[in-house]
Amino acid sequence: MNFITSCCRITEKNCLINGRIVAHKIEDSPESWFKQLYKHLALEYPKFYKMDMLSQAGFLASEYLKKEYPEFINSYADDEIALLFANQESSADTDIRFKDSYRDHKSPSPSLFVYTLPNIVLGELAIRNKLYGENMFAVLPKFAPDFFLQYGNILLSTGSKALMAGWLGVLDGKVEVSVFLVERDKDNRMPFSEENMIKCFSDQA
């Protein structure tokens, strides 16, 4: 049986781990909400500043999960953790910035262009954590727990031993991020079910 062993939710104002608020946006800060979270994590990873908001969202959620559950990554071989992510907006947030930048500067920006695909966040997570397992980024009409359940169970029955999965909704300042870890045979945790994924997505986990 498969279980959700930890989940992280980031909204426009809060960051929650397993339903517990761990960071709250400082509204009058000159720093962006994601930079506030990065500083709260006290990390030294300058590549964070180069990432677009979609990659930053995945990076921050994964780092909060690792902080909460440090042994997760090291419990598995580098090809045993699969990445399974989705959203509704694809990379539209960066696509629009790239289009505007091209229009304003009359030349394309390579550093923006490299983020004009949604699956780049998977590369960022793989590089950061040295993960070489299966990975998938889907663009869906809305948050679909049945997709994660079906695809996740297939991954977990065909070689992957754990999942880092979730929804990365980022567009025009709106943030709806919910990332969770799924593992096999972990007792006393939330079963990997549609109902429990919805709990992760609604601050109730």
Partner 1 sequence: MDSLKEDLKKQIIEQLNLEDLQVSDIDDNSLLFSAEGVGLDSIDALELIVLMEKFYGIQVTNPDEGKDAFLTINTMADYIEKKRNQ
Question: Rounded distance, CA 147 to CA 88, Å?
Answer: 13
When the beta carbons of 75 and 109 are compared against partner 1, the nearer one is 109
As measured in angstroms, the least distance from the Cβ of 128 to partner 1 is 11
As measured in angstroms, the least distance from the Cβ of 32 to partner 1 is 6
**Are the C-beta atoms of residues 92 and 173 closer than 8 Å to each other?**
no
As measured in angstroms, the least distance from the Cβ of 124 to partner 1 is 12
* CB atoms near residue 30 (< 10 Å): 6
User: How many chain residues touch partner 1 (CB under 8 A)?
Assistant: 20
- CA distances to 5, 55, 101, 162, 189 from 185, rounded to whole Å, are 10, 30, 49, 10, 9
When the beta carbons of 37 and 165 are compared against partner 1, the nearer one is 37
Interaction with partner 1 in 14-53: which residues (CB under 8 A)?
A: 31-32, 34-35, 38, 44-50
When the beta carbons of 66 and 128 are compared against partner 1, the nearer one is 128
Question: Rounded distance, CA 38 to CA 94, Å?
Answer: 20
Which H or E run includes 8?
strand 2-10
Does residue 59 belong to the site contacting partner 1 (CB under 8 A)? Answer: no
When the beta carbons of 92 and 136 are compared against partner 1, the nearer one is 92
Does residue 97 belong to the site contacting partner 1 (CB under 8 A)? Answer: yes
As measured in angstroms, the least distance from the Cβ of 21 to partner 1 is 22
When the beta carbons of 114 and 138 are compared against partner 1, the nearer one is 114
Q: Which residues contact 81 (CB under 8 A, 6 or more apart)?
A: 73, 129, 131, 133, 160, 161, 162, 163, 164
Q: What is the DSSP letter of 2?
A: E
When the beta carbons of 27 and 49 are compared against partner 1, the nearer one is 49
Interaction with partner 1 in 143-172: which residues (CB under 8 A)?
A: none
Among residues 192, 193, 85, 168, which one has the least CA distance to residue 134?
Answer: 85
As measured in angstroms, the least distance from the Cβ of 60 to partner 1 is 12
Distance of CA 162 to the CA centre of its chain: 15
Interaction with partner 1 in 100-129: which residues (CB under 8 A)?
A: 101, 107, 109-112, 114
Residues that bind partner 1 (CB under 8 A): 31-32, 34-35, 38, 44-50, 97, 101, 107, 109-112, 114
